[in-house]
Structure 1
């Protein structure tokens, strides 16, 4: 990817980090915050959502565009689903545990809590909330974090409710699950102080570390999301939503800078050509006898073909803005938002079964010459006209350069159009929830994970790599508890991190292992009832039988720690069975026989003891 001079381009970027909190109950009701499988749902219901006006009588532009596409939203409800989640009962008071955790986060970000926190409604009619809005409250303001490229200001920290989980996209709408709706979520917004892709990633990593330092945030895929706001001097602010991985942030910033540079170049070229966008029109007759599969399918279903002439756009609709994404792809994104499958345009035709003679007839039908382009949509009689109008509107903005908009992050570092940027009209007060007065006086600032790494090295003697694994892992509270109860620190760390990782790679269902399983296994080792070498086998068995007690299962598997005489008996048997090799090689036979001895003892003996006895027996015969 081309690397730009970001200072010269005037790159300005900011982050919005959304992190789920690991609370017992949801933000405005007493339902649990655990995710469920869709198959566990007990029932479902449907809703249609429409935008509402703000207190000033305004309708948010993003909500208005969303409402242009009539969609049905179905929600999966569970045995734990309550009337608040269904929007059939007013929300309860703001959850105190979530508020306390948010204040901890604010302290780590060096922020000032507000005197009084009011809950607001934020209009959202994409179906992700049954009420048609998301509840959100400003908790703290004006903080700062440090990066290697300078300080990045923190604008605010919001406490809000998580959206419903999208299960399936359907032709008529979207299927959502209510298990995630209402989980407490903090939104951390930085100031636009970020000036390079690398700084954007570093800032996100720093904030993520601070969040995990509380020990009170959820972990795993989907529990944290990053939105990235990017603009360059001659471009416009673009918000990219739903960045799942920190590894993608710098690539997304680079990709967006490239897209804006290309759009500005296209706008300059269109200006020199005196380009314009014509009126949309029905061109179904041009394709009456077409053999193009897509167009033929639409016409056979009593559909139509609509076109828009793009005067002066020839060669520019197919110009690449990002890898495998062109200006025509941008047009197609807008058409898809109105229900179309996509578009065709003359920069890529003839192709897809459309012949050269059909392209000539199309140009003639809309009055387009060789320097012009034409875009078409083939679909049903309602979708095609609205989709081609959306293409025409996007083409108009191409004349000016970069439009302000909200885009969705793709896994390959590119992005796609979602909707216009929301405005102030989407926020208005929530009258059903009383305000609260945040009090940070009794909130303790947690130890940073980076500080924890240093402490694990100095206090417990862990090497740097293992200390970092444990501190940044999700089981550090269990590690500290185990060490405090007398378990060897290195054993506890290796079991909770290295061993679990190795078992996962061997396709062991480690997600079935709970804290009590680890407590039981580590306790057996500490009491001398299980050799360290037997830990992987016992954890594997517990993952397959999570309902079993570790001690009982170890006994059934014969994994009890072997006494020295039992170890010596097993070692002697191995040495005598390989007496010729011992006589010929002496201690050179040690490595091969050590593995055989450990296999014979099946993890019941400590490796150091087996090694000591084996050396004695070999030396006695050499």
Structure 2
């Protein structure tokens, strides 16, 4: 895909960053915020959710569409799950720790806190919350961040409860896990100030750095999600949800621009052709003797004529995605497996004669296209209605909608854009006055990198790895205890990376494991060369102490006399080489000596003793 002139297209984009906070308790109860494995569940709760009217008597369009699919929602409960999470007890007051962290983030965003936090309910009927709504409260507005292409305004920052974790889909509906539900989450929304894919990525990176600078946000897959709102001048605002990887944001924006450009051109051509969408018709009899397995297995086949659409349903709008894929997304939302259309037929066992009969049955000629759904009759009829609605929107151009981000930069239809009708006040939680005066501004990660280089003499690359890494607090605690900064940094970053590559379960290592191992080195009870082996032993059995792990790995420290004895033996075995090469034999003998000591002695000590022994022999 060639790069577009984004200014000429009128690209406008904004971000919504959702970040879980690392607090002791959930937002509206005292349950822990640690994730659990589904097999740890001790009970299940079942719910059926329906949309409700707002304070103004309105029903949100997105919630209404979601409710058209009849589904059962099951929730996995654990030994820590409480009645608030199950929606069997009113929420408690807003967690004070979460409020403090949110105010700290607001300060980093240069945003102005509101006088009081008023909790609102946001209707959600996809099953991700047992109550059918998400609780959310505005914390601050009117902030700003800097990017290389200029400032980006921060429209608002909200404190919300995280949704339940989606586990699997079943024939009856969806299974969710309650361990994630209620974890404090900040949602940061930018102004539509972003004008290029690169600026979108830059802005997201800046916000992510500010969030991590607090030291109170969760890390790892799924703990931060980026949504991107994108539009071009002739297109429409589209919300792209669930971008997991920061590196994907610019690709997501590029591909959405391409999609909108293609849809604008398709819409223009459809209008020039005088295109329209006909009425759905039952065409089951056309395929009575079909060899297509998918069609033959269906109870009914329902088709809709797309007059003037020939050749455009199969037109590519994103890599491996066509207008037909857009139509299929809507059919899937209605419960169908997908659609067939005449731009791709005959194929899939459907013959040329069947295509001709299909066109005749719905009154379509060679300038038209036909889309069909094969499923149970209720599903087929509902799905074809959804296809017809999306096809009518294609004549106009780009519809406003919410889409899900795919890993390859493309996206898929999720639901219509939500409106204001889904928000109404939460009556069970009183407002909370906010006082930002006691909030301390943390050191930014960019500032930490500069300090690590200047104060500890770390290489800039290593300093950045440590500052942005998960174990930055461990590194700082070790240095504060007197451990050499370079050793501490290399241990929490390079050594851990090497162990992970060897499939060592490093996620089982706790902060105290690192601190205790580094303390052994600092005390001279463990050579730094043995750090990796001791951490490996601790990862395999986290119940061991660092000293026990060193003993088990045969890496307990040795005194200088044993080092001298071992090195002397190595030099004696290689006497002829030493006499012939002198200090030139050092490298080979150093490796042999370290191997003989099996990481139990510090390399610098071994080096010094070896040089002395070589000089004696030479």
Task: Report the TM range for the smaller structure's normalisation.
Answer: over 0.9
Partner SS for 2:396: coil
Structure 1 residues 370-519: aligned runs within 5 Å: 370-519=366-515
Q: Secondary structure of the equivalent of 2:306? A: strand
Say which SS state the counterpart of residue 225 (structure 1) adopts. Answer: strand
Task: Indicate yes or no: 2:172 matched with 1:172.
Answer: yes
Asked whether 1:212 is paired with 2:187, we answer no
1:267 alignment partner in structure 2? 267
Cα displacement (A) at 1:576? 2.2
For residues 72-128 of structure 1, the C-alpha deviation after alignment (integer angstroms, 9 at most, x for no partner) is: 101000000000000000000000000000000000000100011100000000000
For residue 265 of structure 2, give the secondary structure of its aligned residue in structure 1.
helix
Distance 2:213 2:543 in 1: 31
Quote the Cα distance in structure 2 between the aligned partners of 1:5 and 1:557: 61
2:162 and 2:184 in contact (8 A); partners too: yes
In 1, distance between residues paired with 2:205 and 2:191?
A: 16
Residue 579 of structure 1: CA displacement? 2.9
- Deviation of 1:582 after TM superposition, in Å, equals 3.0
2:519 alignment counterpart: 523
Could you list the per-position Cα deviations for residues 114-161 of structure 1 after superposition, in whole angstroms to 9, with x for gaps in the alignment? 011100000000000000000000000000001110100000000000
| Cα-to-partner distance string for 1:571-618 (whole Å, 9 max, x where unaligned) | 122222233333443333322221221111111111111112222223
Partner of 1:566: 562
2: CA distance between counterparts of 1:110 and 1:45?
42
Partner Cα distance (1:102, 1:199) in 2: 25
| Counterpart Cα distance in 2 of 1:580 and 1:296 | 86
In 2: Cα distance, 1:553 partner to 1:343 partner: 60
Q: Distance in 1 between matches of 2:112 and 2:591?
A: 60
Separation in 1 of the partners of 2:576 and 2:325? Answer: 74
1:3-152 paired onto structure 2 within 5 Å: 3-152=3-152
* CA distance in 2 between partners of 1:512 and 1:579 (Å): 46
TM-score, L = length of structure 2: 0.99
After superposition, give the CA deviation of every residue in 1:429-457 in whole Å (9 maximum; x if it has no partner). 00000000111010101110000111111
Query: Corresponding residue for 1:553?
Result: 549
Q: CA deviation at 1:186?
A: 0.1
**Number of the residue aligned with 1:285:** 285
The answer (yes or no) to whether the contact 2:533–2:553 under 8 Å persists in 1 is no
The answer to whether the 8 A contact 2:100-2:439 is kept is yes
Q: Deviations over 1:277-327 (max 9, x none)?
A: 0000110000000011111122xxxx1000000000000000000000000
C-alpha RMSD over aligned residues: 0.9
Provide structure 2 residue ranges, at least 5 long, that are not aligned to the other structure. Answer: none
Question: Do 2:201 and 2:250's aligned partners in 1 also have CA atoms closer than 8 Å?
Answer: yes
Shift of 1:259: 0.2
For residues 66 and 117 of structure 2, the distance between their equivalents in structure 1, rounded to whole angstroms, comes to 30
User: In the alignment, is the contact (CA less than 8 A) between 2:58 and 2:421 conserved in 1?
Assistant: yes
1:162 aligns with 2:162: yes
Which of 582, 595, 600 is matched with 1:604 structurally?
Answer: 600
**Aligned twin of 2:250:** 250
Quote the Cα distance in structure 1 between the aligned partners of 2:281 and 2:582. 92
**Could you tell me how far apart the structure 2 residues matched to 1:20 and 1:189 are?**
15
TM-score by length of 1: 0.98
Counterpart CA distance in 1 for 2:413 and 2:581 is: 71
Distance 1:248 1:349 in 2: 34
User: Does residue 318 of the first structure (1) align with residue 310 of the second (2)?
Assistant: no
User: Is the aligned partner of 1:535 residue 2:531?
Assistant: yes
How big is each residue's C-alpha offset from its partner over 1:189-237, in whole Å with a ceiling of 9 and x where there is no partner?
Answer: 0000000000000000000000000000000010000000000001000
Q: Is the 8 A contact 2:273 2:308 kept in 1?
A: yes
Matches within 5 A, 1:308-387: 308-387=304-383
Question: What is the alpha-carbon distance in structure 1 between the residues aligned to residue 584 and residue 414 of structure 2?
Answer: 68
Which secondary structure state, in structure 2, belongs to the residue aligned with residue 182 of structure 1? coil
Which secondary structure does the structure 2 equivalent of 1:15 belong to? strand
CA contact (8 A) 2:11 2:195 kept: yes
How far apart are residue 381 of structure 1 and its match? 1.5
Measure, in 2, the Cα distance between the counterparts of 1:77 and 1:555.
42
Q: 2 CA distance for matches of 1:406 and 1:428?
A: 21
**Other-structure match for 1:232:** 232
Q: Distance in 2 between matches of 1:557 and 1:478?
A: 23
Three-state SS of the structure 1 residue aligned to 2:304 is strand
Question: Aligned partners of 1:571, 1:264: CA distance in 2, in Å?
Answer: 77
Structure 1: 5+ residue stretches without partners: none
Q: Secondary structure at the match of 1:451?
A: helix
- 2:132 & 2:316 partners in 1: Cα distance? 37
Residue 193 of structure 2 aligns with which residue?
193
